[in-house]
């Protein structure tokens, strides 16, 4: 596995590429995004250490999204050949990889629900809940706080909102005593109300390790 250090705001892979390897995030934040015909950006997910943002390229030859860094990152590249080998020889590991991509899918479904049917206030609350829970799952968060190096413009691109609107909603969330968010630091002051406002239910993240049937 080749390991690269990348600066912030760099593309790891680009829509249209036909990569022969997938990238494992070792440290830092990345996002998966698309650019529309009119040049607008939609971030479809954030990825944190432990994630493989383009694992799908193992089976879908042409990338339909780009992956870009948000912070400086350390990224490991795993040749598809090696992944295929492992998968053929160890069906259980193949299942585990498959399962990871299914969880990504579940996150997409939840984001769609946010964008389609929650207004900005709940949408942001929901995303903050998700990020904290995911960061905790990989040991990168304390009980109610974590680093969250995401700019307001990036929040906007992820949630389908303008930067200005994100800014105003964040101020509301702060004014209502739900969060502190300054620089890279997120501090959740009222977890229950934040969950409530975002309609957040972590089931979709499928975090409890479940015994496989086979």
Partner DNA sequence: CGGTCATTTGATGATCATCAAAGTCCGTGG
Partner DNA sequence: CCACGGACTTTGATGATCATCAAATGACCG
Q: How many residues bind a copy of itself (CB under 8 A)?
A: 56
> How far apart are CB 62 and DNA at their closest, in Å?
29
Burial class (CB in 10 A: 0-12, 13-18, 19+), 47: buried
14 binds, among DNA, a copy of itself, none (CB under 5 to 8 A by kind): none
> How far apart are CB 185 and a copy of itself at their closest, in Å?
26
Residue 207 within binding range of a copy of itself, rule CB under 8 A: no
Residue 176 within binding range of DNA, rule CB under 7 A: no
Q: Which residues of 114-143 are buried (b: 16+ CB within 10 A; e: fewer)?
A: beeebebbbbbbbbbbbbbbbbeeeeebee
Q: Are 165 and 124 in contact (CB under 8 A)?
A: no
Alpha-carbon distance of 127 to 101, in angstroms, equals 19
Residue 176 within binding range of a copy of itself, rule CB under 8 A: no
Alpha-carbon distance of 93 to 69, in angstroms, equals 27
91 binds, among DNA, a copy of itself, none (CB under 5 to 8 A by kind): a copy of itself
Rg, the chain, Cα only: 18
Residue 34 within binding range of DNA, rule CB under 7 A: no
**Cβ neighbours for 41, distance < 8 A, ≥ 6 positions apart:** 33, 34, 35, 157
Residue 162 within binding range of DNA, rule CB under 7 A: yes
Name the site residues for a copy of itself (rule: CB under 8 A).
16, 32, 34, 36-38, 40-42, 44, 56, 59-62, 64-65, 80-81, 84-85, 87-88, 91, 94-95, 98-99, 101-106, 108-113, 115-118, 157-160, 199, 203-204, 206, 210, 212-214
């Amino acid at each position: 596995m080749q390991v690269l250090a990348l600066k912030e705001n760099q593309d790891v892979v680009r829509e249209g590429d036909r990569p022969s390897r997938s990238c494992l995030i070792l440290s830092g934040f990345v996002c998966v995004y698309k650019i529309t015909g009119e040049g607008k950006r939609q971030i479809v997910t954030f990825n944190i250490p432990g994630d493989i943002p383009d694992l799908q390229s193992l089976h879908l030859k042409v990338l339909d999204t780009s992956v870009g860094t948000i912070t400086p990152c350390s990224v490991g590249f795993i040749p598809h050949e090696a992944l295929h080998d492992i998968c053929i020889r160890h069906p259980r590991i193949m299942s585990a990889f498959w399962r990871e991509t299914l969880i990504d899918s579940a996150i997409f479904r939840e984001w769609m629900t946010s964008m389609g049917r929650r207004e900005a206030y709940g949408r942001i609350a929901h995303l903050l809940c998700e990020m904290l829970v995911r960061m905790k799952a990989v040991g990168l968060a304390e009980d109610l706080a974590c680093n969250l190096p995401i700019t307001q413009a990036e929040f906007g691109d992820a949630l389908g909102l303008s930067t200005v609107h994100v800014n105003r909603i964040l101020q509301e969330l702060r004014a209502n005593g739900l969060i502190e968010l300054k620089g890279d630091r997120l501090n959740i002051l009222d977890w229950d109300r934040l969950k409530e406002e975002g309609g957040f239910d972590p089931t979709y993240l499928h975090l409890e390790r479940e015994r496989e049937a086979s």
